[in-house]
Amino acid sequence: MADSATDPTANGSSGNTLKGSMYPTTTITTTTRPLDIMITNLSRTDAQAAYSQIASGPVAQNVKDQSAKTTAEFSNLANSRQTPSQPAATGQPLTHYHSFFSELLSWNNPRASAIAYVSIVSLIFVARYLDLIRYTFKLTWMALGVTVLAEVAGKTVLGNGLATQLRPRKYYTVPRETLDSLIGDVHELINFFVIESQRILFAENVTASAVAAFGAFLSYYLVKIVPYWGLALVSTTLLFFVPLVYTTNQELIDHHLKQASDVIESQTEQLRQVANKHTAQATEITKQYLGDYTAKAQQMIRGQTASSKSTQSHLNESDFPKAPKEGFNKKEEEESSEEEDEEEPLIAA
């Protein structure tokens, strides 16, 4: 009886109390269930609090802020695609990619510029270390194989192909507006490179043309020891980070550039003065030599004239033979007699 009185499950009922029992079963059942509910509620509350704390914490807030700033910078970069107000040296308008790349390389939107640089570098490494053409063929035959097997298996087992069930009601087509916009962007991009190459070739900006010439000179020798992908990586890095270094240290660089330009101008002025001095000396020497040669030539001419005159003064008439006068007189008489003979018949007639 003692055992049956102390055993809470001896009577087969958990909801009634037994005589002589100090701990009824109802006390146990009514205390364990609320504890579970409380623990569950507490765990859910803690999870929600932890999630809200993480979601509203400094890390999550920083991520949201950076994401919003990145989106804003990409919007600014996209809005910068406008035709510049300043035309080319020929007067023709530039493309909107001139302002776009100028905004991109100036690092006015650092997150967008950094993402663009990382994307280009990633594409260079992907093109170098991944055989894209081979993987494209592999993905193509795998995708086509899956669709063909699904279609054949569906028709064999179910009587209807699985690829047919997944086929859209209308195939996707490129809208004309999208295609026109894409063609316009490609046209503007091609014209950007064509115009810039001509501006560099004809030295519209002397500094840019000098930098391009120096880069081509280095590339001519580096291409012998550096592969093309390495050369593209170096060019991309210089193209992005040289403007960044300049904008970061603009005052210091401008100061040194001014000093260098002053030194070059002073040296150029000294060379110009030395060249003018030597030119003046050469001109004076040339004039002196020409004067000397002219005086000597005149003296020589005068000496020849004086010698000819002195030679003529020393000559006499007796030094020359006399001309025969009698022969000329006889010939004149004969000619006059012949003329008289011709006139007489005319008179008689």
Q: Which two tokens stand for residue 136?
A: 């494209």
Q: Which pLDDT score is estimated for 195?
A: 94
Q: Which pLDDT score is estimated for 321?
A: 60
pLDDT tens readout for residues 186-239: 999 999 999 999 999 999 989 899 999 999 999 999 999 999 999 999 999 999
Query: Average pLDDT for residues 164-181, to the nearest whole number?
Result: 89
What DSSP element (H or E) covers 297? helix 250-314
Q: Which pLDDT score is estimated for 15?
A: 42
Q: Which pLDDT score is estimated for 231?
A: 93
Q: Is pLDDT of 291 > 50?
A: yes
For residue 149, how many other CB atoms are within 10 A of its CB?
12
Q: Which two tokens stand for residue 188?
A: 């503007």
Q: Which pLDDT score is estimated for 178?
A: 92
Which pLDDT band, with edges at 50, 70 and 90, does 7 fall under? very low
As a whole number of angstroms, the distance between CA 194 and CA 86 comes to 18
Per-domain residue ranges of the chain: 2-8+18-55, 249-298
As a whole number of angstroms, the distance between CA 176 and CA 80 comes to 25
For residue 256, how many other CB atoms are within 10 A of its CB?
11
Q: Which pLDDT score is estimated for 63?
A: 81
Residue pair 94/87 in contact by the 8 Å Cβ criterion: yes
Q: How many CA atoms lie within 13 A of 249 on its CB side?
A: 8
Mean pLDDT, all residues of the chain: 79
Q: Is pLDDT of 4 > 50?
A: no
Q: Which pLDDT score is estimated for 149?
A: 92
Q: Where are the beta strands (DSSP E) in 32-174?
A: none
Residue pair 188/181 in contact by the 8 Å Cβ criterion: no
Q: What is the pTM of this model?
A: 0.61
Which pLDDT band, with edges at 50, 70 and 90, does 271 fall under? confident
Which pLDDT band, with edges at 50, 70 and 90, does 299 fall under? confident
Query: Average pLDDT for residues 258-270, to the nearest whole number?
Result: 87
As a whole number of angstroms, the distance between CA 25 and CA 16 comes to 7
DSSP string, 263-288: HHHHHHHHHHHHHHHHHHHHHHHHHH
Q: Which pLDDT score is estimated for 61?
A: 79
Rank 66-75, 185-194, 277-286 by mean pLDDT and report only the highest.
185-194
Which pLDDT band, with edges at 50, 70 and 90, does 347 fall under? very low
Residue pair 163/154 in contact by the 8 Å Cβ criterion: yes
Q: Which pLDDT score is estimated for 333?
A: 61
Q: Which pLDDT score is estimated for 276?
A: 86
Q: 81: Cβ–Cβ under 8 A, 6 or more apart, which residues? A: 96, 97, 99, 100
Query: Average pLDDT for residues 152-168, to the nearest whole number?
Result: 86
Residue pair 81/185 in contact by the 8 Å Cβ criterion: no
Of residues 334 and 179, more confidence is placed in 179
Of residues 19 and 189, more confidence is placed in 189
Query: Average pLDDT for residues 270-287, to the nearest whole number?
Result: 86
Query: Average pLDDT for residues 96-102, to the nearest whole number?
Result: 91
- Helix residue ranges per DSSP H, 80-131: 96-105, 110-129
Of residues 228 and 1, more confidence is placed in 228
Q: Which of 47, 103, 117, 39 is nearest to 75 (CA)?
A: 103
Q: Which pLDDT score is estimated for 220?
A: 93
Q: Which pLDDT score is estimated for 311?
A: 58
Q: Which pLDDT score is estimated for 45?
A: 65
Angle at 253 between CA 249 and CA 258, to 5 degrees: 150
As a whole number of angstroms, the distance between CA 337 and CA 335 comes to 6
